[in-house]
Structure formats: C-alpha cells, structure tokens
Chain A
Amino acid sequence: MAKDFDNTSGMIFDIQRCSLHDGPGIRTTVFFKGCPLRCLWCHNPESVRPDREIAFYQEFCVGCGACAAACPHRAHRIENGSHFFDRAFCEVCGRCVEACSFGAMRMTGRQCTVKEIMDEVRQDVAYYRQSGGGLTVSGGEPLLQPEFLKVLLEAAKAEGVNTCVETGGFAPRQAFEAILPLVDLFLFDYKAARPDKHREFTGADNELILSNLDFLCRSRAAVRLRCPLVPGINDSPEHFRAIAEIAGKYPAVERVELLAYHNTAGHKYARHGYRNPLPDLPSAGEEIKNRWLESAKNCGCEKASLG
C-alpha cells in the first residue's frame, strides 16, 4: 500500500491550507488539474487544461530578459523594456520559470505523488481534529484522474483524515463507484436544470451528471449540493424550483449551498492567456444573494443556505 502512495501521482495546480469553504471545519483543499466542462463563470480557468501551463504575472516582471535568454523556443522577447510572451511558440518546457527570479513566470500545474500531498495534508491534522475538518479534493474535476484520486483518498483514510470530493459530476459511473466507500461527503455541483441550458452554460448536457447524482444519493452517500448562481444567467425561477425539487427528492442531500458569482478571477484568465467569457459581469451583492436564498426557500428548499 505505502508503495502506491510513492508511485501514484497526478496533476494538481494548488494546495490550499486552512480552507473554510470546501466542506465542514478546517480543511486542506487539493486542486486537481483538468476539467471536461467549460462553465462560462469558471473562477479557476487555470484548472481546465489537464496539463501544465505557464502563467505570466506581468506585475512582477522587471523586464530583465532572463526568460528570453533561457527560452529555447523564442517565446519571450523584451522590447523597450516591455516583456512580450507569445504562447504560440511556447512548449511549456519551464525554462523561463526557472530563469525568472521575480515570480513573474510561474508554472501552473505540477505532477505530485500521493505521498507528497499527504506530507502537506498531515501538517494540519491537529486543526482537522478540533474542527471536524479534513481533506477536500477539488479541481478542475477530480474524477478525471480516477486512479490518483482513489489512492489519495485511500491514503487519507489510512490516516483517519475526513474526506470531501468536490465534483461537477461529469465523469464515468465507474469512477464514482470506485471512490464511494472512501468519501465522507460529496460536494456536488448543480448548475442548470434544462439540458439545453446546461449545454449553453457548460458545454455539456446534464444527463450523465444527473444520473451520477442519482447514483450517489441512492447509494446513501452524503451529498451537499453546491449551486453556483450567476446573475442573469442561471438565476431563473425555474432553476430555483429545480434545486428545491432535487433537494426534496433525495434525503441524501444534507444541505444546499448557493454559491454567488464573484468576478475576482479576471486576472487568472489574463495570466494564463485566456479570454474571460464574462469580463463585465459584477460580483453578486448582498441584496441579490439574500433574494436568491429567499427564492430557494419560497420554493420549499429548507436545506438552502448561502455558501
């Protein structure tokens, strides 16, 4: 078993300590890289690609040219003290990241063994014990790396660490079956009720997702429904009725968290060379959040709270 922890590795893009928003108590959240969905409101755009990519933090660049000198592919050039990074030439070899002393060039994504992750997770066991917290695996979509996920969860369970998996639900059934006994709580996203709307917002329809949710709930997994709400996009009355219906249908759904859209991810799109699909949409304010909560409760969803 211990050998698996050394040898099994996967692609992650961050480990966040002292996380208070990804399940009960104080948690360490490990973010897996790679996602099959393309949600318009994605606030982790660097999580979408399954492989490594280069992030350019322009504000840290001093225009020294060390990256241009190190790059074998001529992706970097300095003109009049300004740094131009042409991703079309970039092979993501990481030489610029090694060469940059200022944190302007960074690698997003690293191949990490289960052991390496557990070494960090273990640091905060004292706080998990005191708060009912533990490990949360998020992403991206954790179930896109099913073997890595399973071994990581086994490692956590072997040390008595509570586990949460946050999922968009768009993954083969077998992946859910494999981890079912290893997960204390699923944080399951619910984004749109109608298949056509779901495809419009996320790039995929929701048939597979709903069937996986159904499977988990019937298997008596503990499920917390997480509903990202985006003003003017999926905050329709129809959607709140659908949320209430699902929450009512499945006793396994212990809670419904309404997650309000925030527009603080714009810089992450820019740093990774992506276009933000919703550049001008402001974060949802307190008033609108409270209205959403009221809408959910009015539809009979007593399990709803603002997440």
Chain B
Amino acid sequence: MNIPAVAKGFGVPDDEAQQYMMYGCGEYVIDRKSIGSPDGALNVAKALDVTLRNGVDGFTGEKMGMALGEFAGFRTFEELLAAFLKQVHNEIELLAEVQASIYRDTARDAAFPFLSLLYDDCIARGKPLLAGGVKYCGGTLESFGNNTAADSLLAIKIAVYDKKLMTPGELLACLSANYEGFERQRRMLRALPKYGNDDAQADEMSVRINTEMCRFCRDQAGRFGLDNFMIVLVNNGDSVLFGRTTAATADGRKAGEPLSNGNQPSAGSDNRGLTALLNSMAKLDPSVHAGATHNVKMSRQMFLARRPETIALLKGYFARGGTQAMITVTDRGELERAMANPENYANLIVRVGGYSERFVNLPKDIQAEVIRRTLY
C-alpha cells in the first residue's frame, strides 16, 4: 500500500518510493533523498469552530481565521462545508508559507555540513542540505482532531440540515454553554453515527474532509517553492493538548476534552468491533497524505490467547488497504491502577500517537485519553 502511495503522493519514481521510511513518528520521508519535517500544526476541530462563529474562536472569544459568514446564513450543509474547507485551506496556505520561510531562513544561517554529508545529492550539487542540496526539500504539517471535526460535521448535517432537530442558533447556544443545561442535546448528538464503526455515512464524511484538505495541501508545494508539502495524520499527545484550548464541538465533545488522534476515531466512539474499526481506518487513500497513525488497544486475552485471530485481523486490515497500526496491549483496569499507583507501573509502555511512552510519565489528561480508547 505504502510504496505506490508514496510514489503518487511525493511524485517520485517507484524505486525511490521503495526507500520510504518514517522520519520520526509516522511521517514518510525518502531515505537520504528527502526531508519532511513536521513544522506546522493544524487544529481542524478549531477551524470548524471558528467557521461556525464567523471568525471567532469559541474558546477564547477572540477573532481568529477568516470570517466567512454567519452559520445561520449557510442555507445548505454543502455551503457550510465549503466555508469550513476554505477556512482550513487558508490555514494550510499560511503554514506552507511558514514552512518555506523556515527552510529559507535556516538555510541562510546554517549549512548543516554533517547532515549534508548523509543526504544524497548535496555533495554532487555542491550545496548544503537546505540550500538546494537535498534532492527533495519538502515539509509536512500535523493535523489534529480531524475526526472530531468529521463527526461534528456529520452531526450538524443530520441534526441541523437533514432532520432539522435544532437550528444553527440552538446548536451554537449548546456549544457556547459547553452543553451545560443542554445535556439532552449533547446526548442526542453523541448518539449520531461516528467514525470508526464501518458506518458508511460517518466514514464517508471523514474520508471526504481528509481527502479534500490533504489534496489541497499536496497541491500547494510548488506555489511555495517546496518539492512536496503534505498533511500527516500523526499526533503525539498534542491531540490532547490542543483539545484543552478547543471549545465544545458538535459531536458532543465538551470544551477542553481531547480531540481525536491521528486517523483514529475519538476515544471510545468505536463500538462495532475490531473489524469495523479496522475497516474504517483502511478507507482513506494514503496517497493524499504523508503518513497516518492508527492506535489499537488490545487486551492480553485477545493479543496472547487469540494470537491466530489477532494476526488474521491485521493481515485482513492490510489486505483491505490499511497502512499502519500501533498496538498497545493492556488489561482492563491496568491503566487505571497505573494512574492511581504510578510507582508500581514504571515500565508500562503505551502507544500515544506516533510514539511510545512510559504511561506513568504522561500528563493526567493524556493518560485519561488512552484509558478512554476502546479496548478490544
């Protein structure tokens, strides 16, 4: 899956694509031939919030992003979606410019002679790494809360536009109040279809917005003088940190709670079984992005006692187009006990996003997010 995806996404020949590797967490780079440092961060859930509020961040109340019109003024869901994508695209352009300027300024100040020795073409071209040396000088930006945004958009589509269960004003009132006094509405929104359950409607929304913004990003490289510039759906614990400063979202998430991580569902919203989760995660075409992480939390009972089935699940997932999976093996209650008594669990390692970490070293809210993920 990944080699043709890298060939297409990076626009490189197959023999180079075969040399793809993970740069740090889950970002693809081509060994010795490209750099693709993830220097930008895009909070997709906040971009939706800012769009719904006509250019205001619901968490801080301050102006942010583009003012593209009042929510109530979008007559159809497609109009709202177009505005949201415009908002995201604007952010991507800004981040592309930042990426290009980082390389420009860094190249002026630092030649990286040692690194330039290790990357192809620098010596032949007689140029340092970032000043025209490396064959493909590209970049990536990390996107956060993609599926929080997708689930929220689907909730808005169903509740506001299709079934008209609430008006735009009523939904904004719920979000602004952080659902306090609107628990009924929150539960209704929570009960709508969510990504991660092999549900056609929910997964299509996720694939659609991810594809739209990833493609847009990929197409910006040339405009900003980069050889490639792509989104990665790779998050470390920052999906939790960004969540801390993101207002309530229409999927029923409260302000401050974690955002979805990588290409995963929001923690705990997958409940149709492991095959359904894997199918959902295999739907996004990997050639539009430069890497995506997929955490799966399995019990020891499953991973050890049902080893043939576990292997079959992963093989089936990759056969269906899965690109990557990160397995945490734990038991019900173990993480809770580790949270309460960290000194007894010094060696308990979990996959957070694009990386592993000792569980007890994580901040409490990241620990809580890992605990909330569905255990299979």
List B residues 131-165 near A (Cβ within 8 Å): 165
Q: Is the CB of B308 within 8 A of A131?
A: yes
Question: Which residues of chain A are near B198, meaning CB under 8 Å?
Answer: 17, 123
- The size of the chain B interface, using a CB distance under 8 A, is 24
- A231 to B132 CA separation, bound complex (whole angstroms): 77
Chief secondary structure at chain B's binding surface = helix
B126 close to A (CB within 8 Å): no
- A52 to B188 CA separation, bound complex (whole angstroms): 24
List A residues 12-49 near B (Cβ within 8 Å): 16-20, 25-26
List A residues 82-125 near B (Cβ within 8 Å): 101-103, 123-124
A275 close to B (CB within 8 Å): no
- Shortest CB distance A127–B (Å): 4
Q: Is the CB of B309 within 8 A of A17?
A: no
A-B contact count (CB 8 A): 68
Annotate B294-321 by CB proximity to A: 1 below 8 A, 0 otherwise: 0000000000001011011101110110
Complex interface: stretch among B210-218, B236-244, B274-282, B342-350: B274-282
Chief secondary structure at chain A's binding surface = mixed
B272 close to A (CB within 8 Å): yes
Q: Is the CB of A127 within 8 A of B316?
A: yes
Q: Is the CB of A123 within 8 A of B279?
A: yes
Closest to B198 in A: A123
Question: Which residues of chain A are near B317, meaning CB under 8 Å?
Answer: 126
Q: Which of B165, B275, B308, B309 contacts A124 (CB 8 A)?
A: B275
Q: Which of A25, A62, A123 contacts B183 (CB 8 A)?
A: A62
Question: Which residues of chain A are near B187, meaning CB under 8 Å?
Answer: 60, 62, 101-103
B72 close to A (CB within 8 Å): no
Question: Which residues of chain A are near B311, meaning CB under 8 Å?
Answer: 130
- The size of the chain A interface, using a CB distance under 8 A, is 21
Annotate A217-235 by CB proximity to B: 1 below 8 A, 0 otherwise: 0000000000000000000
A129 close to B (CB within 8 Å): yes
Q: Which of B275, B309, B315 contacts A123 (CB 8 A)?
A: B275
Question: Which residues of chain A are near B306, meaning CB under 8 Å?
Answer: 20
B273 close to A (CB within 8 Å): yes
A–B pairs, 28, beta carbons within 8 Å: A17-B198, A17-B273, A17-B275, A18-B274, A18-B275, A20-B306, A25-B312, A26-B275, A26-B312, A26-B313, A62-B183, A62-B184, A101-B184, A103-B187, A103-B191, A123-B198, A123-B275, A126-B315, A126-B316, A127-B313, A129-B319, A130-B311, A130-B312, A130-B315, A131-B308, A131-B309, A131-B313, A131-B316
- Which residues of B are in contact with A by a Cβ distance under 8 Å? 165, 183-184, 187-188, 191, 198, 272-276, 279, 306, 308-309, 311-313, 315-317, 319-320
5 closest A-B pairs (Cβ-Cβ)? A131-B312, A18-B273, A130-B312, A127-B316, A126-B316
- Which residues of A are in contact with B by a Cβ distance under 8 Å? 16-20, 25-26, 60, 62, 64, 101-103, 123-124, 126-127, 129-131, 133
